[in-house]
Structure 1
Amino acid sequence: MRFSHDRRGQSVVIGTVILFGFLILALSLYQVQVVPQQNAQTEFEHFEEVRNDLVELRAGILQAGSVDQPQYQTVRLGTTYSTRIFAINPPDPAGTIRTTDSYNITIEGSGESVNVSTRFIQYRPGYNEIDQSPTWYDASVLYVDARDEGGGIAVIEDQELVTSDGEVRVVALQNEFRRSGAGRVTLELRPADNVTETLPEGDLTVTVPTRLSEDDWKNETDLPTDSDIYRGVTDDANGDGVYNLTLNTTAENLTLDTVGVGEAPEEAAQNDNAAIGGSDRGSGGPATVNVISYMGLKNNEQINTNFDIENSDGSSNAIQVTIRDDPGGKVGGDWSQKTVVIDGNTFELTTEAANDIGLAQGERDLFDAASYESATQSELNNLRDSITTESSIVNIQQSGKSLDIRIRSR
């Protein structure tokens, strides 16, 4: 028998080869087109998360000095791509957060001149697919800076240097800090322990280092550049990308705080307008409320602004709580302040208090209960999850004989 002309198996082999070729082509297209798109989506989701982390970090910096309590802010530096079986991912993107070299804030008046060092904060992502432009904290402004790539700046949180009523509030950020990786890092923000500088009195000229040019301040921020407070922004004389923003003010209208990253500030400076923790002891009025921490986490963890309410007087006086609630999410002069009175022994939150701060009916369930001292964490979580209105208390947690109340306008 001769088999030289027997071709009965060729169609099967050819079909297998063609099928294998289509499979290779499909995997190649998936690797080239789908994987980058999915990874870009992962990176964009992380960008939104870390942007919120940096908003909370900025708020913590502004809060640390003004409330005279350490703040703890967590930033997720990088992210992780989805696990793939038949495709290959690039390395997971890491990020770096750091303080820059120090520059001087200068306060001049009455023939005196005082220098207080400050730093910027830079966060730079290591994305593989989307834009890697860094985000900067700079003289209270939080912005994405794409100028090195031929773009401009995009302001995330506007300036808090000059308030709507003409006050000047300067926070000097000190100490060296640098972390890199894909995980989370917590920055401890500490107010001054001891004041080592005294400031001039009377009319003052305040010069603040900034990476923003005069055009940036005029066109990208709400700084009142048409007012008598604004004096101008000098050119970048040293070629290091740092300008000097100069403001006119008085000792009465200036608030200066220093905040250190990781430990107390190296060169602490404050004036009499800086908010230092105190109490109403012996006054017969409401007891003091201390802001213990200010944390920003994500997902199922504790989120948003954390007010730990405690009766520091040790008395039976009611605790008066000032809740700052602003739909724009800003911290500082544009916040509207609402007052809630809480019974110092039972931490009772009343319906009248809910009315005072303008809570919607769905949120008032939180205030109708007589006491939360015996509530379990699960019950508190259920209460939190039932709140769905736009401006709402989203987390309430027991902590000994105090309650942590977290408030955010969503």
Structure 2
Amino acid sequence: MKTWLMQNAKSVQKQMSSRFVWNLCERLTLNGTGTWSDGTDGPLFAPYASRPHLRITTVYSTSWVCDPAELRPDEKASTDALAFGRLAPFYELAGEQLPRILHKESLDCASLVCQRWQPGPPTAATLWHFLHPSGQVLVALTLDVSLGLVECIPLMEDLYYASIECDGLPLEQFAGERVGYRFEHAEGQAPGFLPERHQLVFRSVPSPEEAPDDDTIQRVIYRTDLPYRPEHSSIIYPAELNRRPTTVGALGPYASLICGHQDYIENSVLLSAVQAVGSAARLREIREAAHTYGHRLRARSDGARNTHQSRTMLESIAYHLSHLELELSYSVEAGGDIGTLVPALRVESFHKALYSTMGLVERSATIGQMLRRLSNVVAAELTSVESADQ
């Protein structure tokens, strides 16, 4: 026996080492609640969300604005109303560059009436008012409902188009009055809710077998209970959100499905969606303003104006174009980078994918090029006017 052990010492040592490592890894296996498999006390990370219902949050852009320096929010910071776990210090440090919470209110579920969805009231409802770094106010409505993913499609349709009433008032009016906006004095003004909006659907996944398949995912994101051809789809699956067998992250331009993640990741996703929707609204406004200045420049009549009037108009356009370029940089382009502020792979993965699927990266580049070309034309016209003066 001794001779055999001496002859096979290396093989026995290797097997014993492998068994020891296997036993150690088996003892240190982590389960879904974030604790050691051997029963050791103390969680190592935040447990995965285990709510029994579906959570749907719809973010709306609005025409309401306020000065972030003058308006004092009800909450001190977003971290006071949203749990960010170990990421909370990063969100606190970047508070001025991310959306803030102006108002949070729990609604009476019995007072909510939808146009298409009628089975019964939700189990919980929350109304949010966020302040984008640009000063724009955004509204979000969160509903917890006891529905399956496909069953929630009619409700998602109602929420996306704001076809829902609260206390007998349309959601747009109800949300506006909560921040002091009076619709009876709003004749001739822009509507409260703007076209930019995005929906988030959150669901728990207790086991890999309960994770939604691709067909269910596309029905939810497209809000249509119909089959599809996978080769013709704009759905994005960020790698970091789909790493585990029980985690799913699927993003579309107008709706996203997040399954099996922790609460602090869901809250980070919510804040990223608010940032993206606000940036999309600002991008559209910048384009409209640039189009207006371009029209003024093309429509001007050189014969009807003297050089002083032409120079004054051109200087005014150049001044406003420079402000538009600054707004594009700070309110849209800078908002697309979250990794510099919050070093978390899943948060950054969702944020970048959302900006990409909403088309904000390409559109901001196009509008930025439009602003630069318009500025070049204005500069050339100013040079011509100055030469005429001389």
TM-score of the two chains, using structure 1 as the length reference: 0.23
With CA pairs under 8 Å and 6+ residues apart, which has the higher RCO, 1 or 2? 2
Structure holding more strand per residue: 1
Structure holding more helix per residue: 2
